[in-house]
């Protein structure tokens, strides 16, 4: 009887273990095949989040990049080190600079024939080597990342610093770069394969499913709006919408178009980490200063100029991955592209305002949203809103009039305007005419 029970228990345990023998390993593939920047950092973050939430057992990165920004590479490295499941990297061609750092952060490195890894010297925006403080930071990052995954930290440092000499591996005066065979020899590659399929067939030795991470529809839309051409068009709508609203207050459509364009312009750059909070604040402060210059502060002076500079600068800066005005690692070409895109959009807006303003006010659409006809007295219209005429009465300016504002007459507040002159708050005024519910006044 005991023998039967024992055999029965073994049979149950075996049956319960069978499903695990046939369980399919879920593999998710990511592609790092462009510059390492905030966009790539966000892509990797979304990919690893998908792998975690989707129950994937393994992540494979196909790598082919010449590098990019150290800060974003460091962010990706931290994501990989914190990821609980194994991460493989397949270097299809190149893993240079920041790409080498990311590769070393992976649990296993595999390389294609003819691939290379290394050359991680930090360079500035124009291609020259960065100062030693940046090289030191990169050396430390490469060293600690290599130690984390059991790789030779001295070799990792030699990929950054040309002054490091390792007997039999590299001489002083050259930055270390490994070919596939060299990387295998010195423990920086687990094997040479021609494809990810070959890697998985060899390492898993079991049934697996391979899915490629594809950004969501919203993420694709975000990527589209990062195009400089589309960014320029959005800037034109922002500036043009604000201008038309100021010219025809109360219509509503131009300012609504400007608000929508501003949202579509700033949100994609904010989501990818390019637009910082202080840059958004700078843009809003610029608009506020321009608004104050137009509606509150007489003339055109410091507030107006500062507002234009703040607004223009914010529109340029959100396109650039600067670190609080530090453009050390921002390529000059990107700076010129951002500046020319914003300047071109600004000039385009002025041209549209100049040539399109008249056509807009004469269009049928404008007639539907704004009053364009004259309401004649002979047709029964009246412009008087007061029980008795106010002409000749005197009072004081309740606000600054430039040329519109408010006046106080006999303890009552009225809307008022001048013929273009400015009147300070508290100045004495006399009513010389009435138009609708507003009084035409002049300074006594």
What is the number of domains present in the chain? 3
Residues 173 and 194 in one domain: yes
Q: What is the pLDDT of residues 8-55, one digit of tens each?
A: 444 433 443 444 445 689 999 999 998 888 889 999 999 999 999 999
Residue 1 lies in a domain: no
In a domain, 49, yes or no: yes
Q: Are residues 349 and 403 in the same domain?
A: no
Residue 32's pLDDT is: 95
Asked if the structure places residue 283 within a domain, the reply is no
Same domain, 227 and 347: yes
Q: Would you state the pLDDT for residue 28?
A: 96
Query: Where a domain ends, among 214, 232, 249?
Result: 214
- 75 and 155 in contact (C-beta within 8 Å)? no
Q: Are residues 348 and 243 in the same domain?
A: yes
> The domain containing residue 411 runs over which residues?
377-443
- Domain match, 189 and 240 both: no
The reported pLDDT for the residue numbered 356 is 57
Write down the pLDDT at residue 49: 95
Tell me whether residue 193 is in a domain. Answer: yes
Q: What is the CATH number of the domain that holds 73?
A: 3.90.226.10
| Structure tokens, 362 | 């004469």
Pair 174, 229 in one domain: no
pLDDT tens track for 191-235 = 999 999 999 999 987 889 999 999 888 888 887 888 878 888 888
Q: Are 225 and 241 in the same domain? A: yes
**Chain Cα centroid distance, residue 372:** 42
44 and 169 in a single domain? The answer is: yes
Q: Give the β-pairing of 412-417 and 191-192.
A: unpaired
Predicted pLDDT at 237: 87
Decide: 154 and 146 in contact? Cβ < 8 Å: no
Q: Look at phi and psi of residue 173 and say left if phi exceeds 0, alpha if psi is from -120 to 50, else beta.
A: left
Residue 15 domain-assigned (yes or no):
no
Does 387 fall in a domain? yes
In a domain, 331, yes or no: yes
Q: Distance between CA atoms of 272 and 411, rounded to whole angstroms?
A: 57
Same domain, 109 and 202: yes
- In the predicted model, residues of the chain with pLDDT beneath 50 are 1-21, 380-381
Residues 126 and 233 both lie in one domain = no
Q: Own/partner pairs for 312-317, CB < 8 Å, 24+ apart? A: 312/286, 312/342, 312/346, 313/282, 313/286, 314/279, 314/280, 314/282, 314/283, 314/286, 315/235, 315/265, 315/283, 315/342, 315/345, 316/342, 317/279, 317/282
CATH number at residue 384: 2.40.50.140
Do 347 and 428 lie in one domain? The reply is no
The pLDDT value given to residue 14: 42
Nearest residue to 285 (alpha-carbon basis) of 319, 309, 257, 265: 309
Query: Does the residue 282 lie in any domain?
Result: no
Q: Beta strands 394-397 and 191-192: pairing type?
A: unpaired
Among the candidates 178, 193, 214, a domain finishes at 214
Final residue before a domain boundary, out of 214, 233, 253: 214
Residues 135 and 200 in one domain: yes
Q: Are 437 and 421 in contact (CB under 8 A)?
A: no
pLDDT value for 56: 95
Can you give the pTM of this predicted structure? 0.66
């Amino acid at each position: 009887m005991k023998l039967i029970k024992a055999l029965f228990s073994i049979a149950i345990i075996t049956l319960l273990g069978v499903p695990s023998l046939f369980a399919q390993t879920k593999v998710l593939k990511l592609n790092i095949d462009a510059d390492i920047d905030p966009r790539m950092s966000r892509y990797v973050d979304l990919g690893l989040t998908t792998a975690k939430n989707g129950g994937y057992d393994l992540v494979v990165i196909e790598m082919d990049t010449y590098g990019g920004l150290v800060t974003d590479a460091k962010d990706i490295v931290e994501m990989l080190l914190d990821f609980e499941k194994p991460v493989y990297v397949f270097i299809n061609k190149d893993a240079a600079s920041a790409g080498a750092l990311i590769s070393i952060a992976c649990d296993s490195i595999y390389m294609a024939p003819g691939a290379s890894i290394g050359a991680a010297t930090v360079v500035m925006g124009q291609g020259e080597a960065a100062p030693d403080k940046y090289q030191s930071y990169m050396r430390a990052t490469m060293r600690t990342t290599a130690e984390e995954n059991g790789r030779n930290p001295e070799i990792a440092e030699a990929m950054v610093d040309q002054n490091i000499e390792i007997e039999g591996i590299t001489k002083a005066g050259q930055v270390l770069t490994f070919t596939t065979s060299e990387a295998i020899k010195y423990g920086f590659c687990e094997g040479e394969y021609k494809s990810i399929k070959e890697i998985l067939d060899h390492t898993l030795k079991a049934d697996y499913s391979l899915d490629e991470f594809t950004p969501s529809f919203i993420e694709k839309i975000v990527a589209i709006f990062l195009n400089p051409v589309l960014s320029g068009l959005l800037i034109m709508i922002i500036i043009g919408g604000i201008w038309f609203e100021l010219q025809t207050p109360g219509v509503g459509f131009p300012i609504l178009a400007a608000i929508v364009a501003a949202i579509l312009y700033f949100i994609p750059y904010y989501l990818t980490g390019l637009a910082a909070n202080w840059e958004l604040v700078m843009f809003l402060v610029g608009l506020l200063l321009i608004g104050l210059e137009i509606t509150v502060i007489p003339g055109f002076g410091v507030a107006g100029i500062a507002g234009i500079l703040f607004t223009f600068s914010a529109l340029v800066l959100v396109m650039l991955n600067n670190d609080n005005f530090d453009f050390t690692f921002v390529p000059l070409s990107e700076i010129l592209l951002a500046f020319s895109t914003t300047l071109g959009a600004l000039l385009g807006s002025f041209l549209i305002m100049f040539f399109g303003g008249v056509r807009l006010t004469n269009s049928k659409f404008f007639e539907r949203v704004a009053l364009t006809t004259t309401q004649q007295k002979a047709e029964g219209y009246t412009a008087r809103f007061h029980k008795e005429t106010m002409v000749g009465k005197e009072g004081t300016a309740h606000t600054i009039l430039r040329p519109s504002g408010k006046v106080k007459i006999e303890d009552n507040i009225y809307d008022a305007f001048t013929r273009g002159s400015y009147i300070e708050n508290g100045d004495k005024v006399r009513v010389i005419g009435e138009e609708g519910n507003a009084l035409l006044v002049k300074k006594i």
